[in-house]
Chains A and B, each alone.
Chain A
Amino acid sequence: MKFLRMKPGHGEVLIAEGDVEVREDEERLVDEFRRQLDAGMWAAVPLSGRGRRTAQLARSFDEVPRDAERVIFFPRAAGG
């Protein structure tokens, strides 16, 4: 599983990577996930299916599907 973060002036940046089946990796990913949300990010998991594609917003690491390949973090929405 890869954690990507959108960044102004750069595009996405790989911030963490690991195998959720490996305990140490999972703990690292959970910590990083929490850190990103604490920093004001939203997390989304792009879902690929046949035809229409969607994303799933995750408010905690538990909501991220175990087989997700990537989680994209982006700044939380604000009224413009």
Chain B
Amino acid sequence: MLLALAATALVAIALLWEAAAPRLVEAIERRRARRKLVPTADYDPGRERRAEARARQLLRSCVNEEEWAMYRDLGFVRVWGTQSERPGGHEAAAGTPYAYLIYPHKPILAYLPQTGRLLNEYCVAFPDETRPYGSARLPDSDDVLAKWMALTGDERRLIETANLHLPGRQLDPRQVRRDLWRLRQWERERARAAVAAT
């Protein structure tokens, strides 16, 4: 009796195996294939936030207090130009001071602070082709710092590397004029606060 039951059980197991084996093998192969997929660096907002926080600290440690406050409050940094010739060969602007606005991941904008005239856009990027997390893009504040270091360290080299465009190609001139107005207001407010503090 027991022998008969055991034989029946063996036959049943063999039949089940015949039916289930292909599915089981397929499932194993599928699992292996999934594990072989090339790992992609998924976008991790937490990592990006931590990277940006680090970049802000580094930027803060390099620029002066006014530039840092400008970036913190307004979202851009102004750097004064130092070349004797105006950028882009603007003859009419010769002899007058000029400056740049540095925005994160946007072109550098040259302008005349006295008149608010926009001179040029300089499209420049700092792509890291090693793409450690799948992206070649530096954190925002690192991009600003890279532009700031390149401009203050070797203005001519950076300007010659950049692609020159007329204002309005990537930056909305109305937005830039509004930013320049915000900058003037901001400077007035700081001057007032400085006087009040003395």
Contacts and interface: CB of A to CB of B under 8 A. Distances in A.
Interface of A: 4, 6-12, 39-40, 42, 44, 46, 51-57, 72, 74-80
A57 B107 contact: no
Interface stretch (B23-31, B155-163, B180-188): B155-163
Given A9-B135, A55-B150, A74-B138, 5 more contacts: A6-B128, A7-B51, A9-B133, A11-B50, A80-B125
Nearest to B136: A8
B161 A8 contact: no
Contact of B54 (A10, A72, A76, A77): A10
B152 interface: yes
A52 B11 CA distance: 89
A9 B158 CA distance: 24
Interface string B18-49: 00000000000000000000000100100110
A46 B132 contact: no
Contacts of A40: 129
B139 A8 contact: yes
B171 interface: no
Nearest to B61: A46
Contacts of B128: 6-8, 75
B69 interface: no
Interface string B42-73: 00100110111111001001111001000000
Nearest to B57: A11
Given A52-B64, A57-B153, A74 B126 contact: yes
A74 B137 contact: no
